[in-house]
Amino acid sequence: VKFVYDFTEGNKDLKDLLGGKGANLAEMTNLGLPVPPGFTITTEACKVYLDSGEEPAALRDEVSAHLDALEQKMGKKLGQADNPLLVSVRSGAKFSMPGMMDTVLNIGLSDKSVTGLAAQAGDERFAWDSYRRLIQMFGKTVLGVDGELFEEALEKAKKTKKVTVDTDLEAADLKKLVTTFKKIVKTEAGRDFPQDPREQMDLAIHAVFDSWNTDRAKLYRRQERIPHDLGTAVNVCSMVFGNLGPDSGTGVAFTRDPASGHQGVYGDYLQNAQGEDVVAGIRNTVPLAELEQIDKKSYDQLMQIMETLENHYKDLCDIEFTIERGQLWMLQTRVGKRTAAAAFRIATQLVDQGLIDEAEALQRVNGAQLAQLMFPRFDEAAKVEKIGRGIAASPGAAVGKAVFDSYTAVKWSRSGEKVILIRRETNPDDLDGMIAAEGILTSRGGKTSHAAVVARGMGKTCVCGAEELEVDTKRRRMTTADGTVIEEGDVVSIDGSTGKVYLGEVPVVPSPVVEYFEGRMHAGADDADELVAAVHRIMAYADRVRRLRVRANADNAEDALRARRFGAQGIGLCRTEHMFLGERREYVERLILADTDEEREDSLKALLPLQRKDFVELFEAMDGLPVTVRLLDPPLHEFLPDITELSVRVALAESRKDANENDLRLLQAVHRLHEQNPMLGLRGVRLGLVIPGLFTMQVRAIAEAAAERKNAKGDPRAEIMIPLVGTVQELEIVRDEAEQVIAEVQAATGVELKLALGTMIELPRAALTAGQIAEAAEFFSFGTNDLTQTVWGFSRDDVEASFFTAYLEKGIFGVSPFETIDKDGVGSLVRNAAKAGRETRPDLKLGVCGEHGGDPESVHFFHEVGLDYVSCSPFRIPVARLEAGRAAS
């Protein structure tokens, strides 16, 4: 194998081997752009080194050969005393890990070559400045010396000299500083700063390899879900100098604005400086546009190069460059990160420029970005005081009074207050408080912390790991970096999309993208509308190419209408249990308590017209589109009072000797219906089979509602869905009864009804016997929430709050299987059941109605296994449409 590639040998598609930086340096070299010559050591070499603790045997010779060639090209030798070649040794993994790994500049300088460099450049100050930078960087990143020590010494030198910026230090001062720095290295690292240039280079290469496995790099990878076994490449690049005086400098730029997507000149420039000064913020940079005044020739060339890069990469690029005495050099480029809004704008701009086609535009955006654009947001125009920033763990904009424990969160929210739960970290005991709060803020922990995982699961706004905020739970207060104290009850605002934390109430405005989906905003000229126009176009591309249809989970006409505005092509799940709550609960209670057939029939009779009315409204809202109605699913005790509360009430009443007859019966029923594992108990089709008349009442309500709509010249398309079926026999019994009821309604109304009858596939047994079940079902809807619970043996409500964080941290899964479908386990059941079902009944309609229906990655999976539709909550519909389009293009 080959471990070293010259920049002329690589290209942008070799990121696995050369890392992102190396691959793109090669690409720019081959485009003929001015890149300082150099070579890249592959990630393969890094992997060998990390696995065995030693570099691969062949590496040393390969590096020597490439170094020779480089020296030849440059006409100087690495560290040569009178005319030194200097290089940078730069890390560069496949995925960019900003600030995580190390780079050392000015390798090759020593006590001898520093004078050579001074002569070469005709600038002594510059040579000593470069040397002190080398010792500083090398000491810190290669020899592990505390960087503060160098900073302090530099500060002291400036103070002694009574100057404020490092450029005011002269050669003599820097020379002294070099002596001081070398002493620091000697005492701290227990060795001399190496004078042999090749030794410097080799040590730096090893340091870059090692930096792959620092704690912070590992943590970053875990949070960003970057595999741990990729390794980093190392780039050895001949130095160019931005610190050679006022006609030199260094800068960073974007080919267009990463926030808005607008084309133009975006970047920063710093005169007389080396690269790391820009990021370190030592001196103030100037906007890139000012470079035109400083150095017109370089500026024009840079603009030209940026255009070349955009046309070549067909995307927004960010770049690093350096100007050495009026000569421009390109040091890095990559396809740049951007905000969600910019992603949509840029994708459509590039289509208009003819750089990409519509199919490619779809790949440039994703559902997560669209979801981000749909959250309400803080009003950017508002005057606000930012007090901290953490990790954007779960999006949204939340405002409320600060509370520091769950008990208070629950108590205050019960009395109608909006609260933000602030903790150092959360744990399972905080669950009630998290549910009660508008949002959650923690000062510790990353994207896989308990707070982050649980909040995402609940769809609740969360900012975690805001480290500069000092949370004092005991004293119920939080202190900001500048000493401001936030007491319990003070209002704070948190932005789960940016991680920013504010003091006071920041006004919230609805997202323009939602306004657009709601039909309240159309294309126009101001800034928001430009985004809306881009979203509109991308959604149109997606709708044009997607095969999957998108339906909504909706239980009432209002939700159904919203879903329709959002593009729903029907209802995939109408949960009828929601129609049994509120004032209807008493009928349900009577049904459960009924001792005789008569009593039971009476309560069912009372429920029938109520249900029918619900369905009429729903079918009207969804006229012409399918509506899948699921018959009653949850265990009956959910309709009864809480067992503890009721026991207390009855006990108190008994002690006063005025116990009420109904309460006593209720309590008996509650005891009778109490289950150890309600999730696996009397629910779903089992209810229909043991409570006579329950399902037939529901079927009758559906059929009569459909007949009524037909008589009103409507186009109702009801589908009746039986939940929790495990075997075809259950389904057959329910189906026969339903068909009889439908026939009765047809006879009574004289209206011909076509009602499809199908089942949910949400138990492993149903999935495994799908071929049989399809004999009795006209459609399947995969209930992937319950299927995930039953396949994994997880009780969702219990496990997400208790041990999922540990599982995520240990990497047992990268994302909760309730969030993204577990393709290998649950997914393979879905795939096989779909296949078996269609073998029995080729026109079997297949859908999914778990929450996975609105999850981007899962949508791609459902497309791939050939389902007909996904169903999700109304707000996720645009996301599902977009991802279905991306999956198909």
Active site residue 450: yes
> Binds 786, which of Mg ion, ligand ADP, none (CB < 5 to 8 A, cut-off by type)?
Mg ion
Using CB under 6 A, which of 10, 249, 275, 885 touches ligand ADP?
A: 275
Residues 301-320 that bind ligand ADP (CB under 6 A): 320
Determine the Cα angle at 324 with ends 20 and 270, to 5°: 75
Do the beta carbons of residue 65 and residue 3 sit within 8 Å?
no
Do the beta carbons of residue 872 and residue 553 sit within 8 Å?
yes
Judged by beta carbon, residue 91 or residue 873, the one nearer ligand ADP is: 91
Supply the DSSP symbol for 425.
S
Minimum distance of ligand ADP from residue 323's CB (angstroms): 10
Using CB under 6 A, which of 40, 260, 332, 820 touches ligand ADP?
A: 332
Active site residue 46: no
Residue 709 amino acid letter: R
> Binds 103, which of Mg ion, ligand ADP, none (CB < 5 to 8 A, cut-off by type)?
ligand ADP
Interface with ligand ADP (CB under 6 A), residue total: 16
Tokens of 70: 């480089």
Q: Binding of ligand ADP at residue 330 (CB under 6 A)?
A: no
Q: Binding of ligand ADP at residue 36 (CB under 6 A)?
A: yes
Do the beta carbons of residue 646 and residue 660 sit within 8 Å?
no
How many helices (DSSP H) and strands (DSSP E) are in the chain?
36, 33
Q: Which of 544, 522, 515, 548 is nearest to 362 (CA)?
A: 544
Minimum distance of ligand ADP from residue 241's CB (angstroms): 7
Find residue 270's DSSP bridge partners.
250
Judged by beta carbon, residue 243 or residue 696, the one nearer ligand ADP is: 243
Residues 302-331 that bind Mg ion (CB under 5 A): 320
Find residue 92's DSSP bridge partners.
233
Using CB under 6 A, which of 272, 322, 698, 781 touches ligand ADP?
A: 322
> Binds 808, which of ligand ADP, Mg ion, none (CB < 5 to 8 A, cut-off by type)?
none
Q: Is 68 annotated as a binding residue?
A: no
Stretch binding ligand ADP (CB under 6 A), from 39-47, 173-181, 270-278, 359-367 = 270-278
Q: Is 439 annotated as a binding residue?
A: no
> Binds 275, which of Mg ion, ligand ADP, none (CB < 5 to 8 A, cut-off by type)?
ligand ADP
Give the pairing type, strands 317-324 and 327-335: antiparallel
Judged by beta carbon, residue 447 or residue 876, the one nearer Mg ion is: 876
Interface pattern 457-476 for Mg ion (x via CB under 5 A)? --------------------
Stretch binding ligand ADP (CB under 6 A), from 274-282, 447-455, 575-583, 737-745 = 274-282
What is the layout of strands, in order, in the sheet containing 103-107? 4-6, 38-41, 232-238, 87-93, 103-107
Interface pattern 749-768 for Mg ion (x via CB under 5 A)? -------------x------
Rounded Cα–Cα distance for residues 757 and 404 (Å): 51
Q: Binding of ligand ADP at residue 276 (CB under 6 A)?
A: yes
Stretch binding ligand ADP (CB under 6 A), from 268-276, 361-369, 379-387, 881-889 = 268-276
Q: Which of 774, 779, 784, 887 is nearest to 829 (CA)?
A: 784
Q: Binding of Mg ion at residue 786 (CB under 5 A)?
A: yes
Minimum distance of ligand ADP from residue 59's CB (angstroms): 20
Residues 203-262 that bind ligand ADP (CB under 6 A): 237-240
What is the layout of strands, in order, in the sheet containing 439-442? 385-389, 500-503, 491-495, 397-403, 419-423, 439-442, 461-464, 391-394
Q: Is 886 annotated as a binding residue?
A: no
Annotated catalytic residue within 464, 574, 849, 872:
849
Residue 325 amino acid letter: R
> Binds 276, which of ligand ADP, Mg ion, none (CB < 5 to 8 A, cut-off by type)?
ligand ADP
Q: Is 609 exposed, middle or buried (0-12, 13-18, 19+ CB in 10 A)?
A: exposed
Residues constituting the chain: 889
> Binds 121, which of Mg ion, ligand ADP, none (CB < 5 to 8 A, cut-off by type)?
none
Do the beta carbons of residue 669 and residue 592 sit within 8 Å?
yes
Judged by beta carbon, residue 530 or residue 851, the one nearer Mg ion is: 851
Minimum distance of Mg ion from residue 571's CB (angstroms): 16
Using CB under 5 A, which of 783, 837, 856, 885 touches Mg ion?
A: 783
- Provide the CB-side half-sphere exposure for 722 (13 A, CA): 34
The strand ranges marked E within 607-672 are 626-630
Q: Which of 50, 23, 54, 53 is nearest to 39 (CA)?
A: 23
Minimum distance of Mg ion from residue 785's CB (angstroms): 6
Q: Is 364 annotated as a binding residue?
A: no
In order of 104, 378, 513, 531, 563, the CA distances from 876 in angstroms are 47, 21, 13, 19, 9
Annotated catalytic residue within 237, 317, 450, 872:
450
Q: Is 765 annotated as a binding residue?
A: no
Interface with Mg ion (CB under 5 A), residue total: 5
Rounded Cα–Cα distance for residues 403 and 423 (Å): 9
In order of 5, 97, 306, 325, 586, the CA distances from 318 in angstroms are 24, 15, 9, 23, 64
Rounded Cα–Cα distance for residues 250 and 680 (Å): 65
Q: Binding of Mg ion at residue 332 (CB under 5 A)?
A: yes
Rounded Cα–Cα distance for residues 690 and 700 (Å): 18
Minimum distance of ligand ADP from residue 90's CB (angstroms): 3
Rounded Cα–Cα distance for residues 717 and 753 (Å): 9
Q: Is 544 annotated as a binding residue?
A: no
Could you give the residue numbers annotated as active site?
450, 849
Per the annotation, binding residues are 575, 630, 762, 783-786
Residues that bind ligand ADP (CB under 6 A): 36, 88, 90, 103, 105, 237-240, 274-276, 320, 322, 331-332
Per the annotation, binding residues for substrate are 575, 630, 762, 783-786
Residues that bind Mg ion (CB under 5 A): 320, 332, 762, 783, 786
Per the annotation, binding residues for Mg(2+) are 762, 786
